[in-house]
Amino acid sequence: MSIQQNILVAVDAVVFGYMNANLHVLLVKRKGSTFHKEWALVGGFVLDDEPLTTAVKRELKEETGVQLDYLEQLYTFGDTVDRDPRSRVISVAYFGLINSSKIVPIGDTDAMEAKWYPVNELPDLAFDHSAILSAALNRLRAKLTYQPIGFDLLPNEFLFSELEQLYVTLLGKDIDRRNFRKKIMSFGFLEETSLFKQKKSGRPAKLFRFNDLKYRELESKGIYFDL
Amino acid sequence: MSIQQNILVAVDAVVFGYMNANLHVLLVKRKGSTFHKEWALVGGFVLDDEPLTTAVKRELKEETGVQLDYLEQLYTFGDTVDRDPRSRVISVAYFGLINSSKIVPIGDTDAMEAKWYPVNELPDLAFDHSAILSAALNRLRAKLTYQPIGFDLLPNEFLFSELEQLYVTLLGKDIDRRNFRKKIMSFGFLEETSLFKQKKSGRPAKLFRFNDLKYRELESKGIYFDL
DNA sequence: ACATTATGCGTAATTTTTACACAAAAGTAA
DNA sequence: TTACTTTTGTGTAAAAATTACGCATAATGT
């Protein structure tokens, strides 16, 4: 078998972070010849002997230094704009989340190269990255309602009101605080800590923790988590 | 930008058909040098200027002559066995369904090259095709419960008992005939025809038809279809 | 005509979801 | 120290959805 192909394989990552009660995406300013100085998703070409997820993590490390808490394959975009005029590129897009307490503020200087953008204040993006980002947003919102994925966007210990706020922000619809709490607690993967957190005013609130082990145990029993 | 890559891009299709009250998969017997005479999914290399779905349809036509009623991207398998020892291959897997009345019996001769296999009597498969098939089965089963995808496996006109049987077979759990019917009918995308079908014995049953337009209208209103 | 097979309904019990209000624990300002 | 504001924490009743369940109808075969 002797196949001659001229298609390049790339990976792109849509990485979401949650800060200031808002969803953010990690973008980098391109330095290459194509789309020079434009904002784009983190990504790049896959090495010959490199697994796809390894490629994603490598690019992420090289370009931003960020480490992921959640990563899954999103979709493969193959019928799109070329990166290099001489060759077609197909891009395997990934979708990642990062724990908000691990977020390193980057790109606040003038010589910035990577930056967290609020999803409702996005700049124009290079390539078809707007389409990829849009697909990732849909996936995130859909997944949020049947998989406890929101915890990967919060710090390890968080207030119930923060969790609630996250859902309100990402799903864009109101939640009844009491019913929400009842539902989440009924799943059994959240545990109270002995810690409290005091805001500027109001009653101090318990901090909660997501018990990943417990979650996996429940999941393996085929239990569903509809919100 | 001058990238030298040695990765080949292929597509593979897991095509499901439903016949004799059983789910089947379309397999082909390989003729190439690698995995010669072994059974495999339909697939092949993507042409340089060819969209991915076009490649899937082309391979399908070339190798089996089958036309699809439903096609969606499944997953990209990239960390797997090489097809060609000289190069790495990543494969974008697709997932397709075919209307059971369009199924052409193939491969019943001795010189067969393509064949419908019942999913519970599968032969060993070439490459990592077992893993791909398994992912497709999971996707099919999951999707069946929130999207009216089962109709693409049935003839245009079908009995309610056939639809019910399909769900029982694919989901592997019992269904209350009356509740099932109520639920499906409540969605509003099934319509009665004036036709009847007579089995060997028993009361003749109405034939139903899936109204795709109506479905899309409902779907665009954001209505969900949980089973 | 009688037994057998499969279709086509309707209603009551149970479970899940939704709606809704008030007390408790802090800070702040008079 | 008291009154006011802010935020957390909980329970119950109404409504909706799901589940369980039985019997009449329309054919075939003997």
Pick the more confident residue, B82 or A89. Answer: A89
**pLDDT for residue B80:** 66
Task: Please answer yes or no on whether B9 and A5 come within 8 Å at the CB atom.
Answer: yes
Checking ipTM against 0.85, whether it exceeds it is: yes
Q: What is the pLDDT of residue A145?
A: 95
Nearest to B142, CA basis, from B103, B172, B171: B171
B30 conformational bin, left if phi > 0, alpha if psi -120 to 50, beta if neither: beta
According to DSSP, residue A47 is labeled P
Query: Which A residues 178-217 have CB within 7 Å of strand C?
Result: 178-179, 182-183, 198, 200-204
Residue A111 reports pLDDT greater than 60: no
B78–A84 CB contact, under 8 Å: no
Write out the two tokens for B82. Answer: 């090489």
A86, pLDDT greater than 80: no
The confidence score (pLDDT) of residue A198 equals: 78
Res A85 pLDDT > 80: no
Torsion of CA A219, A224, A225, A227, to 10 degrees: 170
Q: Please answer yes or no on whether B88 and A48 come within 8 Å at the CB atom.
A: yes
Known catalytic membership, residue A191: no
pLDDT at A110 over 70: no
Measure CB to CB from residue B88 to each of A33, A49, A88 and give the nearest one.
A49
Q: What is the pLDDT of residue B191?
A: 96
- Amino acid whose CA is nearest the C1' of D22: B178
Which of A6, A32, A88 shows the shortest C-beta gap to B1? A32
Which pLDDT score, from 0 to 100, does residue B199 have?
79
Output the six-digit token pair for B29.
Answer: 């017997």
Question: What whole-number distance in Å separates Cα of residue A223 and Cα of residue B132?
Answer: 25
DSSP per-residue letters across B68-115:
-SEEEEEEEE-SS--SBTTBEEEEEEEEEEE-GGGPPP---STT--EE
* pLDDT-above-70 percentage for chain B: 93
Residue B200's pLDDT band (cuts 50, 70, 90): confident
